[in-house]
Amino acid sequence: MIDTEHLINDLCKQGFCIIDDFLEQTQCQSLRTTAQKLYEQGLFRGAKIGLKLGSHKNESVRTDEILWLEENETDPAIQFFLKRMKQLAQILNQSLFLGIHEFETHFAAYQPGTYYKKHVDQFAAQKTRKISCVYYLNPHWTPDFGGELKLYNTEDQLIQNVLPLENRFICFNSELPHEVCVTHQPRYSITGWMKTPAHFILTKVHSPISKKSYEESD
């Protein structure tokens, strides 16, 4: 079960929330097995930056590989994860009135030497991403493996260093800058974004999430 009070309080106070033991251990292991198998089958592709038709590869910015997931995935572990994310979106809508109506997500694989430089998930031309989510699938991860997520506030100050530990979940305001440091071991995760319709806009930039941060606009 998701601790609603912990989730909402952390998002409102600091702009992010970390939840360990997010799923049952067996479900996390199943997701990693699935991710590794699909990667070994050559189904992942080099990740791009930018929005839709303007997207392109830029290895000076990111060198990870991804595989997009769909709502109709048949893998039971993926389906359970997507169901949990729907529950999370419902909690956020009921508590923070964010207007979330969609969750887009993909597997991400970072091989040794890969990274994703500092960036924000919110596109300047289309402000529909509200909450960024990452779920980690890496057993026995230690700090010397690298690959940590560094999260910054809107003043570009480091506010959290997150190791990609197995069964750890983090969600945060999509306007917060962040980066994935160079990894020295294969690193798997599921990354996604909770999105609003295009007619929802962010009226003020907040590091924390606020119930008054969003309003509906024509």
Per-residue pLDDT averaged across 7-13, rounded?
Answer: 96
Full-model pTM: 0.88
Percent of the chain exceeding pLDDT 70 equals: 87
Q: What is the mean pLDDT of residues 14-21?
A: 97
pLDDT by residue (tens digit) across 117-169? 999 998 766 788 999 999 999 999 999 999 999 999 989 999 999 999 999 99
At residue 218, does pLDDT exceed 50?
no
Question: What are the CB-based long-range contacts (under 8 Å, 24+) for 75-78?
Answer: 75/30, 75/34, 76/30, 77/27, 77/30, 77/31, 77/34, 78/31, 78/34
- The CA distance from 69 to 207, in Å, is 29
How many angstroms separate the CA atoms of 64 and 154, rounded? 25
**pLDDT mean over 87-101:** 95
Euclidean distance between CA atoms 18 and 137, whole angstroms: 15
Beta bridge partners of 213: none
Tell me the two tokens of residue 102.
């969609």
DSSP assignment of 101-160 equals -EEEEEEEEE-TT--EEEE-SS-SS-TTEEEEEEEE--TT--GGGB--EEEE-TTS-EEE
Indicate the DSSP class of residue 56.
Answer: B
Average pLDDT estimate for 70-98: 95
Q: Which pLDDT belongs to residue 193? A: 97
- The tens digit of pLDDT for each residue in 39-60 reads 999 999 998 776 554 566 777 8
Of 208, 4, 209, nearest to 90 (Cα)? 4
Residue ranges of domains in the chain, CATH in brackets: 4-200 (2.60.120.620)
In tens, the pLDDT along 102-128 reads 999 999 999 999 999 999 998 766 788
Residues 79 and 105: their CA atoms lie apart, in Å, by: 12
d(CA 118, CA 113): 16
Tokens linked to 165:
């530990």
Q: What CA–CA distance (Å, rounded) separates 150 from 135?
A: 15
State the pLDDT at residue 204.
35
- What confidence score (pLDDT) does residue 16 get? 98
Arithmetic mean of pLDDT, 179-198: 96
Tell me what percent of the residues of the chain surpass a pLDDT of 90.
78
**In the prediction, which pLDDT does 59 show?**
77
Closest Cα to residue 196, out of 97, 105, 87, 98?
98
In a 13 Å sphere around the CA of 155, the CA atoms on its Cβ side amount to 3
- Decide if 152 contacts 159 (C-beta within 8 A): yes
Answer yes or no: is pLDDT of 211 > 80: no
